[in-house]
């Protein structure tokens, strides 16, 4: 039973355009959401997060949107750069859960020059 | 500042062998975790620890054991290795639980 789903295994975008990565969740107890970025042969690195009390969080070129009623979040990257090519994981945390994260299966983003 | 360090980076085991994946962090984080990532899948939690002397099972603990005798170290023990344990293993740590810092991973193949 996948509680965090990333339905698009891959996404290709032209350099300079917007990349939109999507994530759906089923557990209404999730109160904190994160995006991680992973390059080959490296561990995931934290990118951006959002609390369930907000609907938007922005950090430079990266913006995360949360739609609680739809149990959906998305990561926008504007403008996309070739160095953004990586696997992006969505993750979620249940309140009071010893900070355990549940991860989605990831989306491979390729930014074409 | 090394962050989270995992050893070894690569290992091949025969079925039935045992081994320990080492993980150490130098950030004085209370929380530590072991995840595994199978091809095309997300990271699944094996075990976690909220502090020295305290460990608990995650989503996929069968076939593994952990210990946490110090704040810095959180080794993962594989007993009687099976092909289903072929995976990439990630250790992570966190201070407040808001974001996890991951090691570079250990790729294990069981033949």
The pLDDT of residue A1 is 67
Shortest alpha-carbon distance between residue A14 and chain B (Å): 24
Q: Label the pairing between strands B4-7 and B10-13.
A: unpaired
* Angstrom distance (rounded) from CA B108 to CA B88: 6
Measured between CA atoms, the residue of chain A closest to residue B104 is: A43
How close B89 comes to chain A (CA, Å)? 10
Q: What is the pLDDT of residue B98?
A: 73
Is the alpha carbon torsion for B56, B42, A91, A70 positive or negative?
A: negative
Partners of A32 on chain B (C-beta within 8 Å) are: 98
Q: Are A3 and A25 spatial neighbours (Cβ–Cβ below 8 Å)?
A: yes
Is the pLDDT at B96 greater than 90? The verdict is: no
For residue B99, what pLDDT is reported? Answer: 84
C-beta of residue B97 within 8 angstroms of C-beta of residue B17: no
The residue of chain A nearest to residue B37, with distances taken between CA atoms, is: A105
CB contact under 8 A, B4 and A43: yes
Minimum Cα–Cα distance from B40: chain A residue:
A105
Determine the distance in angstroms separating the CA of B23 from the nearest CA of chain A, rounded to an integer: 13
Q: Of B43, B22, B90, B74, nearest to A104 (Cα)?
A: B43
pLDDT tens, position by position, for chain A (113 residues)?
679 999 999 999 999 999 999 999 999 999 999 999 999 989 999 999 999 999 999 999 999 999 999 999 999 999 999 999 999 999 999 876 666 889 999 999 999 99
Which pLDDT score is estimated for B2?
79
Q: Are B110 and B86 in contact (CB under 8 A)?
A: yes
């Amino acid at each position: 039973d996948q509680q965090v789903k990333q339905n698009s295994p891959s996404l290709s975008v032209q350099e300079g355009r917007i990349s939109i990565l999507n994530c759906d969740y089923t557990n209404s107890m999730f109160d904190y959401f994160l995006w991680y970025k992973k390059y080959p042969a490296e561990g995931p690195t934290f990118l951006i997060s959002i609390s369930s009390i907000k609907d938007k969080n922005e950090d430079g070129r990266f913006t995360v949107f949360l739609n609680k009623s739809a149990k959906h979040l998305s990561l926008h990257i504007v403008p996309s750069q070739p160095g953004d090519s990586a696997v992006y994981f969505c993750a979620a945390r249940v309140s009071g859960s010893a900070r355990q994260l549940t991860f989605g299966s990831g989306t491979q983003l390729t930014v074409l020059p | 500042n090394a962050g989270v360090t995992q050893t070894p980076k690569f290992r091949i085991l025969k079925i039935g062998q045992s081994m320990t994946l080492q993980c150490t962090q130098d950030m004085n984080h209370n929380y530590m975790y072991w995840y595994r990532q199978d091809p095309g899948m997300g990271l699944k939690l094996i075990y976690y620890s909220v502090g020295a002397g305290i460990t608990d099972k995650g989503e996929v603990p069968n076939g593994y054991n952990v210990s946490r005798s110090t704040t810095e170290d959180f080794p993962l023990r594989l007993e009687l290795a099976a092909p289903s344990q072929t995976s990439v293993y990630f250790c992570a740590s966190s201070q407040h639980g808001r974001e996890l810092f991951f090691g570079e991973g250990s790729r294990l193949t069981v033949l």
